Structure 1
Amino acid sequence: MLFSKYQGTGNDFILIDDRNNTFPTHNQSLVAQLCHRRFGIGADGLILLQNQSDYDFRMVYFNADGAEGSMCGNGGRCIVKFAHDLGVIKNHTRFLAVDGEHLAEVDGEEVKLMMSNVPAWPTRSETQTDYDFLNTGSPHVVKFLTGLASYDVINEGRQLRHDAAFSPGGTNVNFTEVVNGNGLFVRTYERGVEDETYSCGTGVTAAALAAHRHQRLSSPVSIRTLGGNLRVAFTAHADGSFTDIYLIGPAQRVFGGNITL
């Protein structure tokens, strides 16, 4: 099987051209093995590019544990760059993912991906919590704090990820610090990976929207992650909802090869 490895701000993925529908999508243990960083290729997830009528392609995403996952923003940017490199698309695309239709644009090494609209979510006073919980294609907790560089993201993130309030599916957890006026530093504990990742696209999107609500940060919000820099642009509405949400940043091919299944 031919594969390519791509990364978007350190969030890395195995990309497979599955337009002939030969990949065994039912084999969860195989996906987990391929994503394993000691016994496989190593990645935060695996993504299939498949044919889809009325669209340029379909994105099928699997978490590193082998289970089919919800929307992955950095993975979406990487598969757009993969499709561009394969010649499936030129500079603009319309594709289908698990959360619906997405538009995207490739500009050199940068990919601008339109995310799903986000409706208004309950305020902290309504939920009596010190965090926001919203869905940007995947469920996310956003918690603001200071001293993020030295924060225990793994243990604190794991506790919230498995909190009964989010059962049975759990949640991703983003610890967020406002920096440089209109910027954020974001560290994310991801379900499915069950660890801190270098970056999370739907997570930084959630952080940017929550930062607009609470700190009045304006679009576009500049975001620093452990793996690099991203931007999130959006249109905010008086009812608390958001539309025209774009995740913007680099997506790069790391290497390719073949592996025997």
Structure 2
Amino acid sequence: MQIEFSKYQGTGNDFVLIDNRNNLISPEDTSLIEKLCHRRFGIGGDGLMLLEKENNYDFRMRYFNSDGKEASMCGNGGRCIVAFAYHLGIIKNIASFIAVDGEHEAKVEDNEGQIQICLKMVDVSGIEKNETTFYLNTGSPHYVEFINDHNEFDTYSNGKAIRYNKRFAKEGTNVNFVSFNNNDLQVSTYERGVEDETYSCGTGVVASAISAGFLKNKNRFNINTKGGKLSVSFNKIDNQNIDNIWLMGPATHVFSGSLTI
């Protein structure tokens, strides 16, 4: 069987994307998905997404971590699959799609091939807050810890220790470390499923921005990650409820190809 695929990256968070409207790939084929994500024996990526048909929406997004298991929402993945749908001609400048965490809207800005995607995220509630740590679900669960700076900070070791502590070991959590850089944020993330630090995490920067909003009384942040720059805006209804959340940033086509399996 031959598989046509495209590779996209959003601020260094990279994904294999497959148009699965003909149901060529089984979402249950964990070993195949893991193989396609493998950086030595496959295409390579932090995750894989299937674009599928869905009534009353432009498409359905199905996201899998690099371990082959279907996962919770991925913000950078959401932006990349919108760019993929745009390049396939499924959408124009506005998209409406369904993902594991519910409905999403998106806007495409195409500046001579430089694609920027504005993705509306799900509303957030039930935020756990401490002096320098937060825990919230932005489509995926995120632990957020504020640190003084990122110089010499070991995101992998510190993130892994939290992800596998007594509270989170069974279900896992993503772990974000945030420092302030004037009015901007610097964010690094250890992602469950990938089980490593990634160049960027969309739901992670959303969680980090919302958490920073409680400390700085702001509702918009520019965010620097290892892989590039993102922006997040939101509306704080009260101390437990956030809505109108938008994640903004680039979604770049890297290459396309075919693979015989």
Q: Do these two structures clear the TM 0.5 threshold for a shared fold by scoring above it?
A: yes
TM-score (norm 1): 0.95
Query: Partners in 2 of 1:162 and 1:215 — Cα distance?
Result: 30
Counterpart in the other structure of 1:257: 257
Hey, what's the Cα distance between the residues in 2 that align with 1:195 and 1:122?
Answer: 24
Distance 2:151 2:74 in 1: 24
Of 61, 67, 70, 1:68 maps to: 70
Cross-structure match for 1:203: 204
SS of the equivalent of 1:81 reads: helix
* 1:24 shift after superposition: 2.2
- Counterparts in 2 of 1:125-140, with a 5 A limit? 130-140=132-142
> Partner residue of 2:233?
233
Q: Which AA in structure 2 matches 1:230?
A: L
Instruction: Give CA-to-partner distance per residue, 1:160-189, whole Å, 9 cap, x none.
Output: 1112212421100001001122x1000000
CA-to-aligned-CA distance 1:127-186 (integer Å, 9 cap, x gap): xxx5211000000000000221310111110011112212421100001001122x1000
Say which structure is richer in strand. 2
Is the Cα–Cα contact under 8 Å of residues 120 and 242 in structure 1 kept in the other structure? no
Q: 2 CA distance for matches of 1:137 and 1:223?
A: 19
Mapping of 1:210-249 within 5 angstroms?
210-216=211-217, 218-249=218-249
Q: Deviations over 1:40-99 (max 9, x none)?
A: 111000000000001100000000010000000000000000000000000001100000
User: Structure 2: how far apart are the matches of 1:239 and 1:38?
Assistant: 46
Cα RMSD, aligned residues only: 1.1
Q: Which runs of 4+ in 1 moved over 6 A?
A: none
* Structural mapping, 1:9-158, within 5 Å: 9-108=11-110, 109-124=115-130, 130-158=132-160
Please give the TM-score of this superposition, normalised by the length of structure 2: 0.95
| Residue pair 1:163, 1:170 contacting (<8 A) in 2 also | no
The total of aligned residue pairs comes to: 255
Between the aligned partners of 1:136 and 1:238, the Cα distance in structure 2 is 16
Which shows bigger deviation, 220-229 or 113-122?
113-122
Query: Gaps (5+ residues) in structure 1?
Result: none
Unaligned runs of 5+ in 2: none
Q: Is the 8 A contact 1:135 1:206 kept in 2?
A: yes
Question: In structure 2, how many angstroms separate the alpha carbons of the residues matched to 1:238 and 1:51?
Answer: 37
